[in-house]
Amino acid sequence: MGKKSTNTLVLRIIPYVSILSCLIIWQLIVVLNIVPNTLLASPLQVIKLFIYKLNHTQPDGGLILVHAFVSLKEALIGYVLALLIGIPLGLAMGWFKPIDGLIRPLFEILRPIPPVAWIPLTIFWFGIGLSGKVFIIFLAGLVPVVINSYTGVRMTNPVYIRMARTYGATKWRIFIDVCVPSALPMVFGGLQVALSVSWMTLVAAELIAADSGLGFFITMGQRLLMPDMIILGILMIGLTGVVIGIIVDKVEKRLVAGMWR
Amino acid sequence: MENRTRALKNFKVQCVGISKSFGEGNEKKLILDDINFGVGDEFVVVLGPGQSGKTTLLNLIAGLERPSTGQVFVDGEEVTGPGPDRGLVFQKYTLFPWKTVMGNVEMGLKLSGMSKKERREMASYYIDLVGLKGFENSYPHELSGGMKQRVSIARAYVNKPKVMLLDEPFGQLDAQTRYLMENEIIRIWQAEKRTIIFVTNNIEEAIFLGDRILSLDGKFPGRLKTIYDVDLDRPRDRADTSFLKIRQRITEETMLIL
Amino acid sequence: MAISKIENKTAVKIALLEFLRSKYILYAISLILFIIFWDISAKMNGRFLPRPWAVLMELINGINEPIAGKILIVHLWYSLKRVFIAYAIAIAIGIPIGLLMGYSKLINAWIKPIFDLFKPMPPIAWISLAILWFGIGETSKVFIIVLGAIVPVILNSMNGIRLIDPSLYHAIRMLGGNSRQEILEVTLPASLPAIFAGLQISLSMAWTTVVAAELMGAREGMGFIIIRGMSVSNPAMIVGGMLVIAVTAWLLSVLMTLLERRICPWKTELEH
């Protein structure tokens, strides 16, 4: 028993040791010049740059938080649009046969296209501004949202549907009162997938063509040969992605709690 | 303790002073308390309602769990872990889904290092014995519940274990299949006699199958309550008066709801 | 006899009605409407949207007319080659790591936090660093494709081991298996379907990443084709390239499904 509890304690400490030792090794690699500073910046340099970028617009023309905010704004607008259109569409496709029949082929064409492949066409259509970014993120988010909403309705336990039918519920009522609530967990499962796809696509779009945003920040780092900028950009993208994920998770829990009461 | 051990000495399977509890401290829960019995070359049924610890008892004999106190012996050797001298048939089929019927049945022989030709031959014999000839190359997901349990029985039988342990093997089958499988297990057993310990919560099944019935208490901790000898000729008739008499007696004494 | 005849007749009638209302008719209508709509919008807005016919011609021309020195199929081959090299590396590294993480809590405690730290960073974000390190050549592309493809491989291999039904271990132990046989006969085959699911996600991720990488600096490949189409203002080239990319993605996923059926024929059980 004693051995067991020390074991769990060790297992709880190791993750911190692991991350800490990685940071130290990383720092040492740069300090000892194993990898030259022109190729890799140390963690401390990255932190220093982050603090500097909090209130300096040099050398890329924007504060780091402004870049993050620009990316966040683009991502959220496109994402919310994808939800507003994708969820009802997917749910309806799952329940109403004619809608399924008419929309599905188009969807099957859209589905295998990697969202990043839309970037050139989008830039060609909209230029490098906000609307183009929103459009790409919308497309990227739409596919998983529709698929999950569709599957959610399809997976409704047929017993519930039959029961509702014996009570004389109309097709529409069954859809609203039975299928939609039971599809919700699946719908929300799709939201997280959609989010990570959208975020990744946005980064790609910003790397290729943008005048602000975190992807643009990274590109500037590459042009200026400043590895600390690139790494800071990557870290900020990861961090912002996590933050959005948490927000979506919170909203999701609220909604589920509200709807299933 | 000494006396008990001596009294159980001649039995193939001996459970001596077994108790089992799970959890620690305040959470600690006694599941089985002071269980003593022996099983010879016979068909013994352990009868008990849900939550009486009967599956735990079987797992202790199987060696999948260790008793908190007491010991289990099979052929005079203490059980310290799982092993092929005991054949276990699980309630939830537990076949290897990536193996065909043949692959499942021959698994024990393969693990013991038997040559492919030899084990194929032996496995075929037992697949035939349990009535699955022709299904050798089917995968478990293609079989019905009853057929899966036949595979499971063959898989345990082929290892020639000293004792067969069956944990509510027909609990997930529909009534019709269940009756059929009860007849089948008797047929298989009579074709090749083994010591069998069969766990069930069904009184009728217990009387139909068992030479003896060990009945466990209904509440935690499970205690051994009564041992019934069932002196009926096989095949037994579930509607026979003597059958019904035993059934009534057990029902009254166990407060089981039928 | 007579009854069955009547039944037959109604059955035919019902089948015919069903067919007319069936999804296939709807599918056909949908596709035809889509192409008509596309054509009309392209006609009105020719500078931005190519007509379906023009896209088809562009693809046919691509068969023997080189774009930037290489014909279409060679561009496709370059993309595929990058994917396959990176995919092989991702599998060779990812499966062992994932299996070890699933198998040992200790190893998991060391690797998981680092893995969790890297996971939210999209692989594409690494491209600038990769270019800084390796230049614009093949290495930097393969590097970020590996980054993209390895995550699902690791995750699924890990979960594949974690989610094995413990009673299967009980079963193999009761049949006399030792710990080496336990790994060979239960752990590996039981985690195979999950690993395979990971490989499938991973391949589509690799395909996405290669397109992204080629958008950002390449002289060949499908990503290069569409970005080239953009810079020379040839929408037919962009849309044609997208079509090839989509069809390839689809073919790759079909290929994986077929392979899966070959390797895990028992997996149907999990899908029911």
Amino acid at B124: S
Closest by Cα among C213, C242, C237 to C68 = C237
- What angle (nearest 5°) sits at the alpha carbon of residue B153, between those of residues B152 and B155? 65
What's the average model confidence in pLDDT over A143-159?
Answer: 91
Judgement on whether residues A125 and A252 belong to the same structural domain of the protein: yes
- With CA atoms as reference, the chain C residue closest to B64 would be C170
- What local confidence, expressed as pLDDT, does residue C268 receive? 58
Judgement on whether residues A71 and A18 belong to the same structural domain of the protein: no
Q: Is residue C271 predicted with pLDDT exceeding 80?
A: no
**Contact of A82 with A187, CB cutoff 8 Å:** no
Judgement on whether residues B198 and B234 belong to the same structural domain of the protein: yes
Of chain A, the percentage scoring pLDDT greater than 90 comes to 39
**Contact of C148 with C208, CB cutoff 8 Å:** yes
Judgement on whether residues C77 and C205 belong to the same structural domain of the protein: yes
Judgement on whether residues B156 and B188 belong to the same structural domain of the protein: no
Domain with B148, as residue range(s), is 95-160
Q: At CB < 8 A and 24+ separation, what contacts does C181-185 make?
A: C181/B111, C185/B96, C185/B107, C185/B111
**Contact of A24 with C118, CB cutoff 8 Å:** no
* Mean pLDDT, all residues of chain C: 88
Judgement on whether residues A223 and A150 belong to the same structural domain of the protein: yes
Judgement on whether residues B117 and B205 belong to the same structural domain of the protein: no
- What local confidence, expressed as pLDDT, does residue B212 receive? 93
Q: Which residues of C touch B62 (CB under 8 A)?
A: 170, 174
B197 beta partners: B44, B165
Judgement on whether residues C113 and C30 belong to the same structural domain of the protein: no
Judgement on whether residues B149 and B56 belong to the same structural domain of the protein: no
Judgement on whether residues C152 and C235 belong to the same structural domain of the protein: yes
Q: Which two tokens stand for residue A212?
A: 């602000």
Judgement on whether residues B50 and B152 belong to the same structural domain of the protein: no
Distances (CA, A) of A18 to A5, A11, B145, C69, C229: 20, 11, 48, 49, 47
Which has the higher per-residue pLDDT, B54 or A257? B54
Number of domains chain A contains = 2
Number of domains chain C contains = 2
Judgement on whether residues A130 and A11 belong to the same structural domain of the protein: no
Judgement on whether residues A12 and A46 belong to the same structural domain of the protein: no
Judgement on whether residues B121 and B33 belong to the same structural domain of the protein: no
**Contact of A244 with A75, CB cutoff 8 Å:** yes
Helix (H, G, I), strand (E, B) or coil at B17: strand
Judgement on whether residues A138 and A240 belong to the same structural domain of the protein: yes
* Mean pLDDT, all residues of chain B: 89
- What local confidence, expressed as pLDDT, does residue A4 receive? 55
- Which positions ≥6 away from B123 have C-beta within 8 Å? B102, B105, B106, B109, B154, B158
Q: Which residues of C touch A19 (CB under 8 A)?
A: 113-114, 117
CA–CA separation, B138 and B248 (whole Å): 43
Which has the higher per-residue pLDDT, B136 or B219? B136
Q: Which residues of C touch B155 (CB under 8 A)?
A: 175
Q: Is residue C19 predicted with pLDDT exceeding 80?
A: no
Q: What is the pLDDT of residues A166-204, one digit of tens each?
A: 988 888 989 988 898 889 888 888 888 888 888 889 989
Judgement on whether residues C42 and C67 belong to the same structural domain of the protein: no
| Residue C1 pLDDT class (50, 70, 90 cuts) | very low
Judgement on whether residues A19 and A96 belong to the same structural domain of the protein: no
Judgement on whether residues B168 and B250 belong to the same structural domain of the protein: yes
Q: Could you tell me if residue B126 is inside a domain? A: yes
Rg (CA), chain A: 23
What's the average model confidence in pLDDT over B179-192?
Answer: 92
- What local confidence, expressed as pLDDT, does residue B126 receive? 95
- What local confidence, expressed as pLDDT, does residue B85 receive? 92
Judgement on whether residues C98 and C199 belong to the same structural domain of the protein: yes
Distance from CA of C193 to the nearest CA of B (A): 10
Cβ distance C175 to B159 less than 8 Å, yes or no, reads: yes
Judgement on whether residues A57 and A161 belong to the same structural domain of the protein: yes
Please report, for the domain that includes residue C87, its CATH number: 1.10.3720.10
- With CA atoms as reference, the chain A residue closest to C113 would be A15
- With CA atoms as reference, the chain A residue closest to C122 would be A200
Judgement on whether residues A92 and A3 belong to the same structural domain of the protein: no
Distance from CA of C155 to the nearest CA of B (A): 22
Judgement on whether residues B168 and B141 belong to the same structural domain of the protein: no
Domain with A6, as residue range(s), is 1-35
Judgement on whether residues C136 and C16 belong to the same structural domain of the protein: no
Judgement on whether residues B211 and B142 belong to the same structural domain of the protein: no
Say how far residue B117 (Cα) sits from the centre of its chain.
Answer: 30
Of chain A, the percentage scoring pLDDT greater than 70 comes to 96
Judgement on whether residues B62 and B186 belong to the same structural domain of the protein: yes
**Contact of B205 with B236, CB cutoff 8 Å:** no
- What local confidence, expressed as pLDDT, does residue C73 receive? 92
Q: In this complex, is the C-beta atom of A159 within 8 Å of any C-beta atom belonging to chain C?
A: no
| Residue B5 pLDDT class (50, 70, 90 cuts) | low
Q: Is residue C190 predicted with pLDDT exceeding 60?
A: yes
Q: Is residue B221 predicted with pLDDT exceeding 50?
A: yes
**Contact of B182 with B200, CB cutoff 8 Å:** no
Domain with C88, as residue range(s), is 59-271
- What local confidence, expressed as pLDDT, does residue B169 receive? 92
Q: Is residue C26 predicted with pLDDT exceeding 90?
A: no
What's the average model confidence in pLDDT over A160-164?
Answer: 89
Distance from CA of C157 to the nearest CA of B (A): 17
Judgement on whether residues A12 and A68 belong to the same structural domain of the protein: no
Closest by Cα among B86, B230, B156, B159 to B169 = B156
Q: What is the pLDDT of residues B84-95, one digit of tens each?
A: 999 999 988 899
Judgement on whether residues C183 and C85 belong to the same structural domain of the protein: yes
- What local confidence, expressed as pLDDT, does residue C27 receive? 86
Judgement on whether residues B14 and B142 belong to the same structural domain of the protein: no
Judgement on whether residues C179 and C202 belong to the same structural domain of the protein: yes
Cβ distance A208 to C216 less than 8 Å, yes or no, reads: yes
Q: Which two tokens stand for residue C13?
A: 């009638």
Judgement on whether residues A134 and A181 belong to the same structural domain of the protein: yes
**DSSP H helical ranges for chain B:** 2-7, 54-62, 101-105, 107-111, 116-129, 145-157, 175-191, 203-209, 241-254
Q: What is the pLDDT of residues A78-87, one digit of tens each?
A: 999 999 999 9
Q: Which residues of C touch A242 (CB under 8 A)?
A: 120
- What local confidence, expressed as pLDDT, does residue B8 receive? 67
User: Within 10 A of A248 (CB to CB), how many other CB atoms are there?
Assistant: 18
DSSP state of B28: -
Instruction: Point out the residue among B83, B88, B97 whose CB comes nearest to the CB of C269.
Output: B97
Restricting to A residues 194-213, those with a Cβ less than 8 Å away from any Cβ of C are: 196, 199-200, 203-204, 207-208
CA–CA separation, B253 and B216 (whole Å): 11
Q: What is the pLDDT of residues B29-66, one digit of tens each?
A: 888 888 899 999 999 999 988 778 888 999 999 999 99
Q: Is residue B159 predicted with pLDDT exceeding 50?
A: yes
Judgement on whether residues C207 and C160 belong to the same structural domain of the protein: yes
* Mean pLDDT, all residues of chain A: 88
SS (H, E, C) chain C: CHHHHHHHHHHHHHHHHHHHHCHHHHHHHHHHHHHHHHHHHHHHCCCCCCCHHHHHHHHHHHHHCCECCECHHHHHHHHHHHHHHHHHHHHHHHHHHHHHHHHCHHHHHHHHHHHHHHCCCCHHHHHHHHHHHHCCCHHHHHHHHHHHHHHHHHHHHHHHHHCCCHHHHHHHHHCCCCHHHHHHHHHHHHHHHHHHHHHHHHHHHHHHHHHHHHHCCCCCCHHHHHHHHHHCCCHHHHHHHHHHHHHHHHHHHHHHHHHHHHHCHHHHHHHC
**DSSP H helical ranges for A209-226:** 214-223
Helix (H, G, I), strand (E, B) or coil at B207: helix
User: Within 10 A of C210 (CB to CB), how many other CB atoms are there?
Assistant: 32
Q: Could you tell me if residue B90 is inside a domain? A: no
Q: Could you tell me if residue C54 is inside a domain? A: no
